Amino acid sequence: MDDAVYPDPSFGSAEETEALRAAAAADPVGFWADRAAELEWFEPWDKVLDDSNPPFYKWFTGAKTNIVHNCIDRHLAGPYKNKLALIWVGENGTDYRTFSYFSLDREVNQMANVIKAMGVGKGDKVTIYLPRIPEVMFAMLACAKLGAVHSVIFAGFSADALTDRIDDSESKLVITADGSWVNGEIFPLKDIVDAGIRFSPTVENVIVVKRTGQDVHMDALRDHWYHDLTALPIANGKCATEHVDAEDPLFILYTSGSTGKPKAILHTHGGYMVGTYTTLKYTFDIRDEDRWWCTADPGWVTGHSYLVYGPLLNGATAFMFEGGPTYPYPNRWWQLIEYYGITTFYTAPTAIRSLMRFGDAWPNRHDLSSLRLLGSVGEPINPEAWQWFHRVIGKGRCPIMDTWWQTETGMFQICPTPSMPLKPGSAGKPFFGQEVEILDDAGQPVADGEEGFLVLKNPQPAMLRTLYKDDERYVNTYWSKYPGKYLAGDSARRDADGYLWVIGRTDDVIKVSGHRLGTAEVESALVSHPAVAEAAAIGLPHDVKGNAIHAYVVLRMGYEPSQQLAEEIRKHISVHLSPIAKPDWIDFTEKLPKTRSGKIMRRVLKARALGQDEGDLTTLED
């Protein structure tokens, strides 16, 4: 147990924090009503929680709001008007832009004016496929301002992945860039968009932000440079912030599930706003003088909730860095922390492990004394990485907030508070107002210390409302195994002190470097290669990535296994799904273990690869 004393959080002492936790446990709905009252609403709610039709919970029904009003508009009338909202640094280290709340408002108005002129309005879907540059934030906020629904796709996904997601969301506009910088090289975003929307029945316009500057193809009718559009008179002036219902959709975000196509997680304005505001405030003790750095990309939920919306809702100063941690040298992040005086730093275990490998000398060259709090998210953090982060980066002074949550939950669900004693590797306790159960297969709570299925008991405001266009899959995936309770898809145990230890996924989702991938997606990309007849993908433990993909491939007649073919298949995955999905190993095999009904038994493949007992094989086909 690490119980180094942290000064009292700005919202109250350790005792007050625990009193608030107890009060929230006694009356979760009251807790959320009080938090919501800290924000501004155009019209008040009739009901805080409408639970008349579970699991389709609604929050703040009857209320009118807009998340952008609370992220930007309300700050313009107060002391934060000229405070920095965003500090951005380019990968090359010399590009640098800052935005106060005042100038962020100008940028968002401009973007909103432009997309409104293109016919985007309330309820319309817009796909955003941008690098980590300020325009990704402007684009998300511009959509929200108009009541349009954004669908951000991580700018590392391939054209095929774009096609699936753009078609499914029925986006009429795509906002992209000519390219993105990845370790000094250009990743050709615009070319990928061109390929991805070639046959799109819905996309009418593409806006292209100039970032990398190489020549790109521009379709005269469909494609528009953003800088040309903002030079037009229509871009000037204020664009009204739409008054939307609290339950109106804010965004959809695609994430991987156990089976089939990615799931479109749907979040709404009101509840998501209250949830991300509150969780960031209490977990990271946001203070006026903070410089908050969340290293996540806006293409993932962490970037949505804690790089874009959460910090702005709290009137904080967010830091955004275009590049990665090791380019050109492994001191890049530490250098930025020192130079910009970062106070609160939120990153992923895989990044910590990869930086740890380069040794202590890199961080030790920098003055990291501005840091006050650290955070971790994406997968369980192993105690060695936790200790290194704590000792070498936090100098033993900075508590680590290990936050467990999901694209679905929208906000932290299990996490410590800064004033509570920490256990390396444990994500602490359920957030205020939440209750967690660890159940066995039959739905009975397991004893302390035993592993079981992680289940959330209470509805909470930032929880997904449904899967876009698929209520049935929503109910089946999350609410059917234990009716009335939310099945997270993870296994966990609780210790005698009430601390939770998340172990990992229990389904066919693999966390690779914190990125969420489904075996089904990887397998379908594998079999799209002409040489591949059948394929199975599993995740195996990896020192840096947490898990790495191991693919088993049955070749079509006429193809022979070879090193070269394996390399070609790996490249195929990279191009047809994403570089993050590239298998580390490819094994050619004659046959895959299957059940008699033809389902691949990945469990058996995994046990074999790890040299473990293969378990019950009675259902194996032969």
Which residues of the shown chain bind ligand WT7 in the complex (CB under 6 A)? 255, 301-302, 377-380, 402-407, 427, 488-490, 502, 505, 511, 516
> Which two three-digit tokens encode residue 508?
């066919």
Beta bridge partners of 209: 177
Cis peptide before 416 (omega within 30 of 0): no
Quick one: 88 or 478, whose CB is closer to ligand WT7? 478
Quick one: 176 or 255, whose CB is closer to ligand WT7? 255
Which DSSP state fits 380?
P
> Least CB distance from residue 179 to ligand WT7, whole Å?
25
User: What's the rounded Cα separation, in Å, for the pair 317 and 315?
Assistant: 7
User: What's the rounded Cα separation, in Å, for the pair 423 and 501?
Assistant: 10
User: What's the rounded Cα separation, in Å, for the pair 536 and 579?
Assistant: 18
User: What's the rounded Cα separation, in Å, for the pair 413 and 500?
Assistant: 11
> Least CB distance from residue 377 to ligand WT7, whole Å?
5
Quick one: 191 or 507, whose CB is closer to ligand WT7? 507
SS3 state at 221: coil
> Least CB distance from residue 501 to ligand WT7, whole Å?
9
b/e 485-511 (16+ beta carbons within 10 angstroms → b): bbbbbbbbbbeeeebbbbebbbebbbb
User: What's the rounded Cα separation, in Å, for the pair 349 and 388?
Assistant: 11
Q: How far apart are the first and last CA of the chain?
A: 50
User: Taking Cα atoms as reference points, which of 401, 110, 404 lies closest to residue 234?
Assistant: 110
User: What's the rounded Cα separation, in Å, for the pair 500 and 452?
Assistant: 11
Contact 495, 426 (CB under 8 A): yes
User: For residue 213, how many other CB atoms are within 10 A of its CB?
Assistant: 9
> Least CB distance from residue 271 to ligand WT7, whole Å?
17
Quick one: 464 or 569, whose CB is closer to ligand WT7? 464
User: Taking Cα atoms as reference points, which of 356, 350, 357, 396 lies closest to residue 374?
Assistant: 396
> Least CB distance from residue 193 to ligand WT7, whole Å?
23
User: What's the rounded Cα separation, in Å, for the pair 338 and 362?
Assistant: 12
Quick one: 63 or 500, whose CB is closer to ligand WT7? 500
> Least CB distance from residue 379 to ligand WT7, whole Å?
5
User: What's the rounded Cα separation, in Å, for the pair 239 and 414?
Assistant: 38
Beta bridge partners of 244: 65
Contact 101, 82 (CB under 8 A): yes
> Least CB distance from residue 415 to ligand WT7, whole Å?
8
> Least CB distance from residue 393 to ligand WT7, whole Å?
17
